[in-house]
Amino acid sequence: MSILEYNGAAIIGMAGKNCVGIASDNRLGAQIQTVATDFKKVFSMDDKLYVGLAGLASDVQTMHNLLKFRQNLYELREERSVSPKVFSNLLSSLLYEKRFGPYFIEPVVAGLDEKNEPFLSAMDLIGAPSYHEDFVVSGTATANMLGMCETLYKPDMEPEELFETLSQALLASVDRDSLSGWGAVVHIVTKDGVITRELKGRQD
């Protein structure tokens, strides 16, 4: 049993034209048993900054609280909002601090920078970051998600098309993974605001 596969998760971040989307499944399990079907793994840190946390549920919630703590202090002290790049680097530093006793999460950061250009990053449980212009994935169905994204993705999609692509990629991926699924939540972030939609997929 791998700790990162105990609770189950599927998260995708995808970039469009001056917009970014981030989606996750809703399942919380204890190995084979499903415990909740409304477990949030994507969190809004700011209007244009979202973070998705896949992995051990306890660490998902703890890290969300820790990130909020650090973001609040930053914004109080610096009197400005955290940019996606800085947030991603902060997250990376926080994870590496626990190099020899890590948080069991593999996060995804999605946001729009100061110029409303999409920002996507993903990292492993000890903070090794990678930056992508197209899509990032994390969770128990990464092989499925990478295949779906690679096939369905095209650059410069408008928000509506991005939503369709992101939704189809996620829904198809979780259907072949027993540990993730039970519906999904999709956020599409543009400079004018965010549209959040719930998806109903196979409830199994």
Partner 1 sequence: MGDSAYSFSLTTFNRTGKLLQIEYALNAVANGRTSLGICAKDGVVIATDKKLASTLVDTEQVRKVENITDGAGFVYSGVGPDYRVLVRKARKSSQSYYLTYREPQPVSQLVKGTASVMQEYTQSGGVRPFGVSLLVAGTDADGTPRLYQVDPSGAYFGWKATAIGKNYVNAKNFLERRYQEDMELEDAIHTALLTLREGFEGEMTSQNIEVGVVSTTDGVFRRLTPEQIQDYLDEAS
Binding region for partner 1 (CB under 8 A): 77-80, 83, 85-86, 89-90, 93
Q: Minimum Å distance from CB 87 to partner 1?
A: 9
Cβ-in-10-Å burial (0-12, 13-18, 19+) of 122 comes to buried
Closest to 171 measured CA to CA, from 2, 38, 25: 25
Amino acid at 125: L
CB of residue 93 vs partner 1: minimum separation in angstroms? 5
Instruction: Answer for the pair 125, 111: CB distance below 8 angstroms, yes or no.
Output: no
Cβ distance to partner 1 smaller for residue 80 or 115: 80
Give the nearer residue to partner 1 in terms of CB position, either 51 or 166: 51
CB of 64 vs partner 1, minimal distance in Å: 19
Helices 57-78 and 84-97 meet at what angle, rounded to 10? 130
Q: Which is nearer to partner 1, 86 or 195 (CB)?
A: 86
Residue identified by tokens 């599409």 is: 188
Residue 155 C-beta: closest distance to partner 1, Å: 26
User: CA distances (Å), 29 to each of 25, 41, 49, 106, 145, in order?
Assistant: 12, 13, 27, 17, 19
Nearer to partner 1, 93 or 130 (CB): 93
